[in-house]
Amino acid sequence: MLSDVTTPQDLDDRFRETLAALPAAERRRDPADPVTDDAPLTGAQVLDLFDAQVTSRQLDLAGRWLRSFGEGFYTIGSAGHEGNAAVAAALRPTDPALLHYRSGAFYCLRAAQAAADPSQAADETRTADPTRTADPTWAADETRIVDPTRTADAARTADGTRIADPTRAADGTRIVDDARIVDPARTAAAARIADPEPTDGRPADRDPGSTADREMSEPEPSGTEPTAAADGFGAYAEAARDVLRGMVASSLEPIAGGRHKVFGRADLAIVPTTSTIASHLPRAVGMGLAVERLRRLDSAGRRTGVGVRVGSGAGAAHAPWPPDAIVVCSFGDASVNHASATAAFNTAGWYDHAGLRIPVLFVCEDNGLGISVRSPEGWVAATLRAKPGIRYFEADGVDPVGTYVVAAEAAAWVRRNRRPAVLHLRTVRLMGHAGADAESAYRGPAELAEDLDRDPVAATARLLVEAGVATGEELLARYDETGWQVRRLAEEVLGEPKLASAADVVSALAPRRPVRVARAVADAAARASGPGAGARAEAFGGKPPELAGPMTLAQSINSALADGMLDHPQMAIFGEDVAAKGGVYGVTKGLRDRFGAARVFDTLLDETSVLGLGLGAGLAGMLPVPEIQYLAYLHNAEDQLRGEAATMRFFSQGAFRNPMVLRVAGLAYQEGFGGHFHNDNSVAVLRDVPGLVVAVPARPDDAAPMLRTCLASAAVDGSVCVFLEPIALYHTRDLYAEGDGEWLAGYPEPGGWVAEHVPVGRARVYRVGSADDLTIITFGNGVRMSLRAAAVLAEEGVGTRVVDLRWLAPLPVADIIRESSATGRVLVVDETRRSGGVGEGVIAALVDAGYVGAARRVAGVDSFVPLGPAARHVLVSAEAITDGARTLLAR
C-alpha cells in the first residue's frame, strides 16, 4: 500500500490518527442537503472535493514510492495545497487555466467537472483524447444505473461483491453563482475505453483537429484499458493516470508525452506551464486580453461560436474558449517577487487603468515559503493588495467551503466585469518542497507541527464527519480505496514505453511543413488579387505598393505588414511606439490609421509584457506580431521566448501552440546614434533556442517574401519566428556609389508572390564575376559589405559568390555546403561576435559535412559596441572583408 511509504512528518499516519479520533455526528445528514445549514455546497459536493484532495494526496505518496526505487522522476507534490480543488469547483471547466505545480487537486477536480458534463469540456474540436465515449453506466434517459463497484467504506460482502454507497446522492451537481461542482460518481462519462496513444512509444498528435493537415499519414492508435467506472473512483482514475504517467516519463502521458511532468490537457482547457516561477503570468495577461478581444468580435457578429474558424486567410484559427471565459493563473507566494510577476500585474493594472478589459483571475497559493526562503509575515498580502487595477480577494485554503465561496465570488466578479483580480489563498506545505528536501534544516518542530494541524484534507474530512455526511471510518475506507487504485495505476504505468530516441523527443518541437507554407502564400496571393483586391486597393489608398516604385527595406516591410493584416484578420501589431509614432524608424507608419487601434496599438514600456501579450494572444487564436524596439532590449525578456514560447508545442505535443512573428530592430552600424543598447550585435541567445525561426532580411526584395513566409509558417505550423531587421539598412538606398539606388527594389504584385517565395532555411546567392574563386557566406549588414568587397576583388580578377544566409535558424546548411564546395575557399563574414557568433555555426556545419577546402572567418570583436567612431574598431568592415579574402586566396 502507499500508506507504507515513509514521508516527512509521517503524513499518512497523522491523517489516519485524525480520522480515527473524530467522533461520529449525532445524526446522519442527507448528502443532497447543504453540508451545513448555511453552506452553498451539499454534502455530496464536499465529498467530491474530498475525493479530489485524496486522489492528489495519494499521487504525492505514489511519487515518493516510485522515486524510492528509481522509477519516478518528479516528487514536487501538492500536499498542503489541496484546497485548490475548491478553486477548480468555483470555475467552469472551459475557463483556461495555467497551473502552479502544486495543483494536483485542481487538476483532478477539473477532470471530474469535464467528465460529468462533456458539453462543458473545452473546445471539443481540440480534445486531447479522441477515443473517449459515453459512460455505459448511464441509461439513455440519463437515469443512473447502479454501480455495484462503488462504496463509501470499501467494505465487501462475504462473497466479495461491493455494497452500495449510502453517502452518495443520485445527483450531487449544483450550480452556485455560475460555478459548477460535480459528483465524481457520475463522472465516468468521459472514461477511456481505448488508449489514445500508440503502444510503440511514439507520441500521438494531441491535436486531432490538425490530423487532416498532416503531410504524412500515421498509424491509428491501438490498445485498450478498463473504463473509469471499473476503476472504482470515477473520472479521478483518468486524472491519476495522467499524473502518474508524467512522474514516470511515460510516452503515453497525454500532454507532454514523457518530456516533463506538467499539469495540462487541451480538453480540460489546462495549458501546460514548465516553470512556475512567474514566467507564465505575462502569458496569462495576454490570454485575457485576447479572450476579451475575441469576445467583442463575437458581439459584433464576426464569430459565431466556439470552434468556428476566425477569419478566412491562411492564418484562420480556432477560437478555443467560450466568449465569456476567464483565464485563471496560479503561482506560489515566492513568485510574487519575481520580475515576470511584477510585469504581469503591472500590465494588467495598466490596461485596466487605460480602460481595456483583461478577465484574468490570478491565484496566489501562499504557503509562506520559497523552498527554504520565508515570505515575511504580511508581505504577500501587502504586495497583492497594493497592485493598482487588480481586485483583491483572500481565503483560507484549509476551509473548503470558505475557499469555494470566495473563489466563486472572485470568478463571478472577473467574469461579470471582465477585469483582473487576485485570489490570495493561504495554504501550508506538507512533505517539503520535493523528495530531496530536508525541511528540518530550516524549519523547527513547532512550525512543522502547526502546518500538520492545518492539513486541508483532514479539515475537509472533519467537516464531513461533524456534519454527519460520513463517518471517519467511511472516509478512511475511501482514502484507502483511492490509495489502492492509485498504487494499481502506478504499477501499470511503470511498464509503459518511454521516449525511445532523439527523434521521438524532438518530434513535437517545431514541425516544418514547407509545402503547406508555400501553399498558404499562394492562397494569400490569390485572395489579394481576387476577392480581396478591392479591400487591398482601399487599404493602400488606391495606390498598391507595387505601383509605388523602388522601396527601401523599411518601406518593403511596412507594405508586407499591411498585406499581412489584410490576409490575416486576427493579426495584430503591437509594441512600444508602433502605433501613433509608427515605430522609431517609421516601419509601422500609417498602419494604425489603416487598420484601427484594436489591431495596431502601443504597449507599455516592458519587453516581458510585450512578449507575454504575444504568447497569450497566439494561444487564444490570434496571430500576434509584436515588436521589440531594439535587440538589446530583448535580453531583458528572453526567457519568454526560451522558456514559454519555444516550449509550448514541445510540452504539449502540438495540442497547444503560440504562433508569433516577433519583429526586432537590431544589429549594428547605425551612424550618429549608437552605444551598445542601440547597436547590439548579440544573437547567440536566439540561435540557442530549439525550434525558433530566426530571419534576417538584408534587402527590400527579400524582406517582403520572408515576412510572408514567417506569417504563413506561424499560421500553418504554429511557428515562433524572430524577424531581425538590420537598423542600418532600413533606409539604405545605394550599394556601390552614392545615388546608384541599387539597394532599392520594387514590391511585387500578388501575382508574383509565388515566384518570389522564400522558404524557411534557404539562402540567396549573388554571383560576381566568374564566381569560381571564392565563396563569402554572410548575412544582414555583411551582405552589403561583402558585395562591395566582391566588386573590388572582381577588379583584381577574382570571381566571388556571396551567400546571404537570410535564416540564422535553421541555418541553410545544404546551400552552405553546395556553394562552399563550388569554390573550395570559404570566407565567413560574421558581423556578430567571434565567440558565440553565427560564424561558429557555419564553420561547424562545414566540418560536419566533411568540407576539406580552405576556410577563414572575419568577425566582430568580443566586445560591446562603443559609442561613435570607436565602433569601427570592433565591427567588421568592407576593407576587412577584402583583406580576409586576399589572405585566403594567397594560401
Instruction: Give the active site residues.
Output: 678
Beta bridge partners of 711: none
Question: What is 52-100 written as a DSSP string?
Answer: HHHHHHHHHHHHHHHHHTT--------TT-TTHHHHHHHS-TTS-EE--
What are the Cα distances from residue 296, in Å, to 324, 390, 416? 10, 22, 14
Helix 339-354, helix 607-619: angle, nearest 10: 80
Phi, psi of 543 (to 5 degrees): -130, 90
Which residues does 761 contact at the CB level (< 8 Å), separation at least 6? 512, 807, 810, 811, 812
Which residues does 641 contact at the CB level (< 8 Å), separation at least 6? 611, 634, 662, 686, 689, 692, 720, 722
Extended beta strands in 675-799, E state: 693-695, 720-726, 764-768, 774-778
82/95 Cα distance (integer angstroms): 19
Extended beta strands in 449-596, E state: 571-575
Q: Reading across the β-sheet that carries 693-695, which strands appear in turn? A: 600-602, 571-575, 623-628, 660-666, 720-726, 693-695, 807-809
185/618 Cα distance (integer angstroms): 37
Which residues does 268 contact at the CB level (< 8 Å), separation at least 6? 93, 97, 107, 110, 111, 114, 121, 122, 128
710/660 Cα distance (integer angstroms): 9
Beta bridge partners of 74: none
Closest listed residue to residue 584, CA positions, set 670, 508, 505: 670
**DSSP SS3 for 210:** helix
Peptide bond into 810 cis (omega under 30): yes
Beta bridge partners of 764: 804
Phi, psi of 642 (to 5 degrees): -70, -55
C-alpha cell at 427: 495554504
- Work out the number of other CB atoms within 10 angstroms of the CB of residue 836: 16
264/255 Cα distance (integer angstroms): 6
203 and 257 Cβ atoms separated by less than 8 Å: yes
- Length of the chain (residues): 891
DSSP state of 115: H
Beta bridge partners of 365: 332, 425
C-alpha cell at 631: 535587440
3-state SS track over 244-310: HHHHCCCCCCCCCCCCCCCCCEHHHCEECCCCCCCCCHHHHHHHHHHHHHHHHHHHCCCCCCCCCEE
C-alpha cell at 283: 502569458
Q: Is 305 left (phi over 0), alpha (psi -120 to 50) or beta?
A: left
100/81 Cα distance (integer angstroms): 10
875/726 Cα distance (integer angstroms): 14
336 and 378 Cβ atoms separated by less than 8 Å: no
255/891 Cα distance (integer angstroms): 56
Counting beta carbons within 10 angstroms of the beta carbon of residue 444, is it exposed (0 to 12), middle (13 to 18) or buried (19 or more)? Answer: exposed
